[in-house]
Amino acid sequence: MLCLLARPELKTGGAVGKVLEFAGPGLAQLALGERATLTNMAVEAGAFTGIIAADEVVIQYLMGARGLSRAELEPKVVQADPDAEYAFSIELDLTRVPIMSPCPATQERHPAFRARAARRLRGAHRHRLRRFVHCGKTSDMDLYADVIREALERACVSRPACSLPAIRLAKRAPLRAERGYLELFEKVGASLLDPSCGACIRAGPGTSSSAEQVT
């Protein structure tokens, strides 16, 4: 999503007041939580919302989570018309999308619109694990733990980490003993916060308190 936000079509406000539709074979490889990130972050581009047509992944989730039958769900699946017209389209080759990182914002610019490829970040920001807010799903917590483990192995943890789960389910999973996340997070001074929103606009828990902290 950061790659899309950095594109001129969205960077110049082209998505303001619109609805973003995500489609393509690459979506089939994304878990439901990752798709939710795309649709949720559509508002960062000024769009009303983001939509992705339901597929087998969604149907299987709803069957398990809601106890609904396939017969109930399949008739409710809505697809875009083949001849649908759009304000503009962006086509991405996912094999060429770099790892992106949002950069510190100014008062005039939202941080998401200042995203850069990770390879362009300065070494101090790229190689040292500093304090950051992680709004995440359970799968994100897995990645978070991997980063901390590697940082500890390289002895490059320079600031406490602050974890901000997006949902309570994501908060419970890392606390399970078999994953060992609680001990791992405590080792680097991490704190598990209750789910909330607004840290990106300094209106919630998890915000940085000094210029040296990278959030």
Q: What confidence tens digit (pLDDT) does each residue in 107-144 have?
A: 445 544 455 665 565 554 444 444 444 556 767 777 77
pLDDT at 74 over 70: yes
What is the pLDDT at residue 63?
A: 95
What is the pLDDT at residue 164?
A: 56
CA angle (214 as vertex; 208, 215 as ends), nearest 5? 60
CA angle (126 as vertex; 185, 151 as ends), nearest 5? 30
Q: Which two tokens stand for residue 196?
A: 């909330």
Total Cβ atoms within 10 A of residue 33: 16
Rounded Cα distance, 118 and 15, in Å: 25
What is the pLDDT at residue 128?
A: 45
What is the pLDDT at residue 200?
A: 63
What is the pLDDT at residue 168?
A: 58
**Amino acid identity at 134:** H
Mean pLDDT of the region 72-77? 94
What is the pLDDT at residue 131?
A: 46
Rounded Cα distance, 197 and 127, in Å: 28
Mean pLDDT of the region 170-190? 70
Task: Quote the percentage of the chain above a pLDDT of 70.
Answer: 62
Structural domains in the chain plus CATH codes: 2-96 (3.40.1060.10), 122-201 (3.30.499.10)
Q: Which two tokens stand for residue 89?
A: 């389209």
| Reported confidence tier of residue 92, pLDDT bands at 50, 70, 90 | very high
- Given a contact cutoff of 8 angstroms between Cβ atoms, the answer to whether 133 and 206 are in contact is yes
- Phi, psi of 27, rounded to the nearest 5 degrees: -65, -30
Cβ-proximal residues to 126 (8 Å cutoff; 6+ apart), any chain: 118
Residue-wise pLDDT for 40-59, tens only, equals 889 989 999 999 999 999 99
- Given a contact cutoff of 8 angstroms between Cβ atoms, the answer to whether 113 and 94 are in contact is no
